[in-house]
Amino acid sequence: MLDRLNQAMEHIEEHLDQHIEVSALARITVTSEYHFRRLFSSLAGMPLSAYIRRRRLTVAGAEVLARERTLLEIAIRCGYTSGEAFARAFRAVHGVGPGEARRTGSALNSQPRLSFRLIVEGNSTMRYRIVEKEAFRIVGKKARVPLIYHGVNPHIAEHIRSISPQTMLRIAGLSDQDPQGVVSATVRLSDAIEEGSELDYYHAVVTHFREVPDELDVLDCPPGTWAVFENTGPFPEALQRMWGDVAAQWIPSNPYEYRPGPEILRTRPAQGDPTQSDAELWIPVTRTTV
């Protein structure tokens, strides 16, 4: 998988002056478009579209300073239909417009080419199992929150505090299957994973119930395969580290890829140590054919 990802990066470099089809990158990596976007953004820390734009504008910056082409010619090579649109995008990346950069020789920003490699540390083992689940529902209270990588997400904490004890009891009473009890479920609204991108967050349960109270939010999930990961450690640091390890290590090393769906987290205090939590993370996946 890592070799194929690097082949896809080479394809991007060779076609920066053309329209780059995500379907072509997915074919190179033998994945679906959804999985490629998701895997790339998880590993690179930015959406695929942002990386391609930054690479194009990095190359454009060098051409602006070289003075061998007009600014309009450079804009067209980068895929912009007008000098104004090119100038806005150029300024967003470099902090100055292309005309000013050419006149003054301003310092510009550079997006390096990405390559992927697996670092084998050998000091930890990821515990996981594969579960086939029938269709189910996530039922609880939903809020739209920004993604925060490190520490407790205050927006999620505020959402949970806003749920009344009576409502929490009604939600908990609907739990009737694994993962049991109250869980957290997050749905990504795009392939963006940078900090601040938006998620739909459910404080909810997993259930078969068809009739639920009107004040609760419902997310229907079709039948599918789930990779279930477990760890124990300080909350939320151990969980956030596990989330990253799934993307950076487990997915590239196993015959599974992401599929659309919520990521479900169940946490409970670890027995005998109140500073630790037992976490169970459910990731929707599908088995690859090669």
DSSP-based three-state secondary structure for 71: helix
Domain spans in the chain, listed from the N-terminal domain onward: 2-104, 127-287
pLDDT per residue as tens digits for the range 10-22: 999 999 888 899 9
Burial class (CB in 10 A: 0-12, 13-18, 19+), 186: middle
- The architecture in CATH of the region 2-104 reads Orthogonal Bundle (1.10)
133's enclosing H/E stretch is strand 127-133
Provide the 8-state DSSP code for 196.
Answer: T
Among candidate residues 111, 96, 18, the one with its CA nearest the CA of residue 64: 96
CB 259, CB 133: distance < 8 Å: no
- CA–CA distance, 10 with 6 (Å, rounded to integer): 6
Which structure tokens are listed for 190?
């795009």
CB 222, CB 193: distance < 8 Å: no
**Lowest mean pLDDT segment, chosen from 45-49, 120-124, 215-219:** 120-124
The H-assigned helical ranges of the chain are 2-14, 22-29, 33-44, 48-66, 71-77, 83-94, 98-104, 154-161, 165-172, 237-245, 251-253
71-82 CB burial, b ≥16 within 10 A, e <16:
beebbbbbbbee
pLDDT per residue as tens digits for the range 68-96: 889 999 999 888 888 889 999 999 989 89
Cα atoms found within 13 Å of the Cα of residue 116, Cβ hemisphere only: 23
CATH fold of 127-287: Multidrug-efflux Transporter 1 Regulator Bmrr; Chain A (3.20.80)
What's at 116, amino acid-wise? Answer: F
pLDDT per residue as tens digits for the range 178-194: 999 999 999 987 765 66
- CA–CA distance, 61 with 74 (Å, rounded to integer): 9
So what's the pLDDT on residue 193? 61
- CA–CA distance, 257 with 251 (Å, rounded to integer): 6
Taking 3-state DSSP, the helix, strand and coil percentages for the chain, each rounded to the nearest 5, stand at 40, 25, 35
**Lowest mean pLDDT segment, chosen from 62-71, 79-88, 99-108, 146-155:** 146-155
pLDDT at 196 over 70: no
